[in-house]
């Protein structure tokens, strides 16, 4: 049984003017997603600026999100780290707070071997009882989880149940599903590849687009899983220009700007991320207007 099927939002972390976490706004965002068709909330991932949060802030944000969600939809906590012991600690604390699952990114900067990845993910998984979704995003981590490694983990570690695939390599995704006999919950990690990933047996997406278009992103998946492949594809293609604009600068710079355009007021970014360039912001605003978000 998948932790969720459909569109999970890779949630932005709202900030006050002093760049502390804005918990009042976080509660508003959680309610917004519950009320607009989002199928799960992924808190403190890349889009949530976890890399610039202290461990205490990270865990406080996770705890608050669980409390605000009130079990209405699943909450999945990003608890990955390039330090295995840190990833274990964050995962154990998130489990204490009542999250429904964990999203664990491959260790960044260290560039572990595939043997090291097996050891890392196994150690994290063994430290908790929660279901775990691996997160493969080599463009950000410098480390690719190969299909053979995914298969080894899925077959030997009971609570490693899914993978968020953001390699962009559809052939690699296909190989993952072939080597695991399709017995892993596959989520697209790229908003522009939802339909292709679903066609390979995927069950959903962990989405940046969902921050501003939750119902529409949900519908891309829901239509496909209901057999309306044409309707799903039409939505996927309709939103491609907006998705491109959302990734015209490093995530989450554009999506926070998009939230601002919609009046969500999620605050500024923590350094080293900086304000979006006016030229690219103008393109983003234009694409949002084209699809009726503004």
The answer to whether residue 201 scores a pLDDT higher than 90 is yes
- Give me the catalytic one of 25, 63, 93, 135: 135
Packing angle, helices 55-69 and 23-35, rounded to 10: 40
> Is residue 89 flagged as an active site residue?
no
* Tens-digit pLDDT profile for residues 238-266: 999 999 999 999 999 999 999 999 999 99
Q: So what's the pLDDT on residue 157?
A: 98
pTM of the prediction? 0.97
* Tens-digit pLDDT profile for residues 35-59: 999 999 999 999 999 999 999 999 9
- Give me the catalytic one of 164, 223, 256, 257: 164
- Across the range 119-132, mean pLDDT stands at 98
> Is residue 164 flagged as an active site residue?
yes
Which CATH topology does 6-228 take?
TIM Barrel (3.20.20)
């Amino acid at each position: 049984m998948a932790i969720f099927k459909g569109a999970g939002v890779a949630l932005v972390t709202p900030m006050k003017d002093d760049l502390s976490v804005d918990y009042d706004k976080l509660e508003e965002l959680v309610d917004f997603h519950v009320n607009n068709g989002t199928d799960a909330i992924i808190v403190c991932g890349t889009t949530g600026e976890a890399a610039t949060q202290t461990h205490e802030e990270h865990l406080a944000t996770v705890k608050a999100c669980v409390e605000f969600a009130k079990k209405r939809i699943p909450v999945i906590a990003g608890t990955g780290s390039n330090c295995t012991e840190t990833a274990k600690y964050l995962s154990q604390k998130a489990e204490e707070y009542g999250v429904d699952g964990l999203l664990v990114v491959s260790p960044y900067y260290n560039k572990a071997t595939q043997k090291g990845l097996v050891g890392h993910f196994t150690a994290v998984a063994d430290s908790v009882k929660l279901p775990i979704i691996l997160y493969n995003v080599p463009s950000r981590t410098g480390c690719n989880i190969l299909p053979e490694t995914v298969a080894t983990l899925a077959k030997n570690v009971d609570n490693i149940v899914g993978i968020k695939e953001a390699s962009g390599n559809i052939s690699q995704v296909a190989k993952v599903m072939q080597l695991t006999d399709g017995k892993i919950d596959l989520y697209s990690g790229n908003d522009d590849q939802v339909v292709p990933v679903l066609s390979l047996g995927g069950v959903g997406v962990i989405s940046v687009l969902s921050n501003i278009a939750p119902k529409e992103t949900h519908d891309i998946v829901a239509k496909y899983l209901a057999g309306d492949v044409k309707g799903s594809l039409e939505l996927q293609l309709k939103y491609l220009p907006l998705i491109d604009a959302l990734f015209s600068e490093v995530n989450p710079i554009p999506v926070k700007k998009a939230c601002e355009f919609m009046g969500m007021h999620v605050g500024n970014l923590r350094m080293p991320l900086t304000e979006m360039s006016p030229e690219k912001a103008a393109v983003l605003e234009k694409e949002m207007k084209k699809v009726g978000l503004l």
